[in-house]
Amino acid sequence: MGAGYNQKNSKNQGRNRNNQGQNYNGQKNQKYGGQGGQKNQRNGYQGGQRNQGYGGYQGGQGTSYVGAPYNFVSFADKVYEYPADQLTAHNQMSDELVTGEISYEVKAETPMMIDDGKGRFFRDARGRYAIPGSTMRGLIRANAQILGLSGFEDDIDDYALMYRNVAYGAEKKRYNTVLGAKQLRINDGNRSYGIGVLLNVHAGYVANENGKYVIYQTCVDSIKKEFKGMNYYALSERKIIGDYLKDPSKFRYPVFRPQGKSILQHEFKAFRRNEAKGRVQYIGVENKEYKPYCIKVSYQVAHEKDIVAVGKPGEYDHEGYAVSTGKMNQKKVVYIVPQMDKSKPAIEILERDIRAFQIDMKKKENTLKRFGGRKYFDLPEAGQTKPIFYIQLDGRLYFGFTPRLRLFYDHTIKEGLRQKTKNGRVDYNKALFGYTDTDGSYKSRLSFSDAVIQGDGKELGSQSLILAEPKPTSYLDYLKPNHGEGVTYNKDDFELRGVKQYWLRKDVVQTDAASMKNKEKVASVIRPLDKGVRFTGKIRFQNLTQDELGLLLWAVRLNPGSWMNVGKAKAFGYGNISLKITDAKKLDLKKAYAAEEMLELDPFEAITVDEAIANYKEEMKRFLKGRSIDELPHIKEFFMMKDSKSIPDEEKTRYMSIEKREYQSRKAVLPSVESVVKRK
């Protein structure tokens, strides 16, 4: 599922080291959304409603753009498989099996960038610009997986995503229920006022003990009876700053202003009162040097829940930690967590939840750079302990480093894959590219050389791009809708939408210095080669059946007029390529091993590519009971996205604008492939 997940390094790619490199194109989970609509809804219309939901471009009010530089090709409903014990032996010799090589040429139709890991275009051992064999392997494997009606079971990681819906979204009500979000009326002496609390959220301390994570409770069970499980204190930055400005000589929060400098999200300057649409906001002066912190303190409490002083350890009656969060617009709260009490029962975090949390952290790595890196927000290292917030509810444990924490969805990603497969069966992709699993392994019968540049390549100037993209948590993109409405991973019968593919572009999206202002920390710098550059490479194959050969050739060539995209920054139009087969030949066993004849220096004969592909399609026709593979919806979708003669207008395949709030306010799901192509 693609805008995510971990970079593909699957155990099922075979084990040829020369074909495993840093530029492999496929990514686990980030490229898989859902299977399109229901079978009678594949044309882009849901429940008789045109231009809405699955097939539409209209947002919640019928005017907003909904789209992306990518879309999803449906999974094959039924996987073509054969028993593992019928796999061809690598040392088998037969006139029915084919061994040989395919020579091909790649032409860059737009500037392209194959990153060497240092922001430069990849070069081979001889210093030549090249596309690594591993990159070409990944590209052809992805094509063959779709065209070969293969399964995706091994390409989707099995973990639960996390979500936080605060202001909007399908899970807003559920989210607030899990957190126990309530408005309470509080009477403190002569005062009566409303206050928002999270009744189910506790504070504690997470410890890494020999690789196992446990949460210890605090010495406080609840700061006030009405607040139930809330055992931590929320302290307003406006109160801290206001107390200082009122009388610095009586200031009782010195830990937040060491050496006269603020460590809060705001400077020690007066807040401005702003009232708009009946809502009052207090706007402070931003502290541009702010970074999240966790410091040991002592504190004083009044009226059970109000922090009236925070100082160094030992200065006041109670001990604990002052904890801040990542920078948020107008957020003005510091949390005070009481000290740990190891005499209370500890809570062990399950391995599945640790793994899901760490994967989620990895995906947010670029975003967290703005807050000083992921270390502050990650689980502690071995032997360390740090404050944490958590919820125990209905047999689940949720945890994070802010009270408004991210929750695990009820279901894992893989539960949304609905392909029909049989245990112990092997599909085309495994047969061609190899696999390793608990039942055994099978070596790939394909070998990919680097595709080396022909002539000189012109390196363009450096480009700064934001390469972050929506992740599978964007359920309006990645999951199959239900009657035009978005569903989430909490729905029992949710379905992944399909394989993520990037739209072709006629040219790259240009960026300028103004658009990148204040984004340097999360930007990637690339130095692409200009369009028109050509590369040549080879694919060697051994002991393929006639249908396997036909599938391989189809995956390499695709249909006439098809382009592919490869490398970095595909969302911006980089890496659009055309690929043509310049030669395909097979070993003639009679020539190669005829003992009574002289040594044959050229024991190969030409392969008729169209004929080989037709042989594969004929095998598929038998499997599909007379139906042509070209008629399958997912095959049509795939070639719609690869058709260089029908590239959608860029306004249909751009990212939604954050500045215009197109993404934040959207309600409609991503339109179907067909509706994007056919929309005028």
pLDDT for 40: 35
Q: Which of 22-31, 452-461, 484-493, 641-650 has the lowest mean pLDDT?
A: 22-31
Q: Which of 87-91, 127-131, 579-583 has the lowest mean pLDDT?
A: 87-91
Question: Could you tell me which of 612, 504, 467 has the C-alpha nearest to residue 119?
Answer: 467
538: tokens are 């080879």
Q: Using DSSP bridges, classify how beta strands 534-544 and 446-448 pair: parallel, antiparallel or unpaired.
A: antiparallel
Could you tell me the pLDDT band of residue 32, with boundaries at 50, 70 and 90?
low
E-only strand ranges, 303-439? 306-311, 318-323, 333-338, 347-348, 385-393, 396-400, 407-408, 425-427, 435-437
Instruction: Mark out the alpha helices in 148-186 (DSSP H runs).
Output: 172-179
pLDDT for 601: 67
Neighbour tally for 427: CB within 10 Å:
24
Could you tell me how many helices (H) and strands (E) the chain has, helices first? 12, 33
Q: Which of 419-423, 462-466, 473-477, 598-602 has the lowest mean pLDDT?
A: 598-602
Question: Looking at the predicted structure, is the pLDDT value of residue 331 above 90?
Answer: no
- Cα torsion at 396, 397, 403, 405 (round to 10°)? -80
Distances (CA, A) of 391 to 31, 340, 457: 31, 17, 56
**Angle value at C-alpha 633, between 630 and 638, nearest 5 degrees:** 75
Residue with tokens 């075979």: 14
In tens, the pLDDT along 192-211 reads 778 889 999 999 999 999 88
How does DSSP assign 233-264, residue by residue?
EEEEHHHHHHHHHH-GGG---GGGSGGG---S
Query: What are the residues whose beta carbons fall under 8 Å from the beta carbon of 201, sequence distance 6 or more?
Result: 179, 180, 229, 230, 389, 390, 391, 403, 405
Distance, first Cα to last Cα, the chain:
29
In tens, the pLDDT along 548-585 reads 999 999 999 999 999 999 999 999 999 999 999 999 99
Question: Looking at the predicted structure, is the pLDDT value of residue 109 above 60?
Answer: yes
pLDDT for 59: 37
Neighbour tally for 152: CB within 10 Å:
25
Question: Looking at the predicted structure, is the pLDDT value of residue 103 above 60?
Answer: yes
Q: Once rounded to an integer, what is the mean pLDDT over residues 638-658?
A: 93
Instruction: Mark out the alpha helices in 156-311 (DSSP H runs).
Output: 172-179, 237-246
In tens, the pLDDT along 151-189 reads 999 899 888 998 887 555 678 889 999 999 999 887 776
User: Using an 8 Å Cβ cutoff, are 509 and 572 in contact?
Assistant: yes
The one-character DSSP state at 348 is E
Distances (CA, A) of 177 to 164, 180, 406, 408, 489: 12, 5, 13, 14, 17
Question: Looking at the predicted structure, is the pLDDT value of residue 671 above 90?
Answer: yes
The one-character DSSP state at 139 is H
Task: Name the average pLDDT for the chain.
Answer: 85
In tens, the pLDDT along 578-607 reads 999 999 999 987 776 665 555 666 788 999
Question: Looking at the predicted structure, is the pLDDT value of residue 644 above 80?
Answer: yes
> 262: burial class by Cβ within 10 Å (0-12, 13-18, 19+)?
buried
In tens, the pLDDT along 500-533 reads 999 999 999 877 655 656 665 667 889 999 999 9
Q: Where are the domains positioned within the chain?
A: 76-157+419-475+487-647
Query: Cα separation of 38 and 33, whole Å?
Result: 14
Q: Once rounded to an integer, what is the mean pLDDT over residues 78-101?
A: 86
> 43: burial class by Cβ within 10 Å (0-12, 13-18, 19+)?
middle
290: tokens are 């702010």
pLDDT for 440: 82
Distances (CA, A) of 270 to 238, 249, 285, 309, 448: 8, 17, 8, 20, 65
Q: Using DSSP bridges, classify how beta strands 524-526 and 446-448 pair: parallel, antiparallel or unpaired.
A: unpaired
266 against 665, higher pLDDT: 266
Question: Looking at the predicted structure, is the pLDDT value of residue 346 above 80?
Answer: yes
The one-character DSSP state at 479 is B
In tens, the pLDDT along 439-470 reads 788 999 999 999 999 998 899 988 888 776 66
Q: Which of 39-48, 345-354, 480-489 has the lowest mean pLDDT?
A: 39-48
pLDDT for 60: 38
In tens, the pLDDT along 375-387 reads 888 999 999 999 9
Share of the chain above pLDDT 70, in %: 85
pLDDT for 34: 44
Query: Cα separation of 73 and 499, whole Å?
Result: 5
In tens, the pLDDT along 209-267 reads 988 999 999 999 999 999 999 999 999 999 999 999 999 999 999 999 999 999 999 99
Question: Could you tell me which of 116, 111, 71, 108 has the C-alpha nearest to residue 574?
Answer: 111
Could you tell me the pLDDT band of residue 17, with boundaries at 50, 70 and 90?
very low
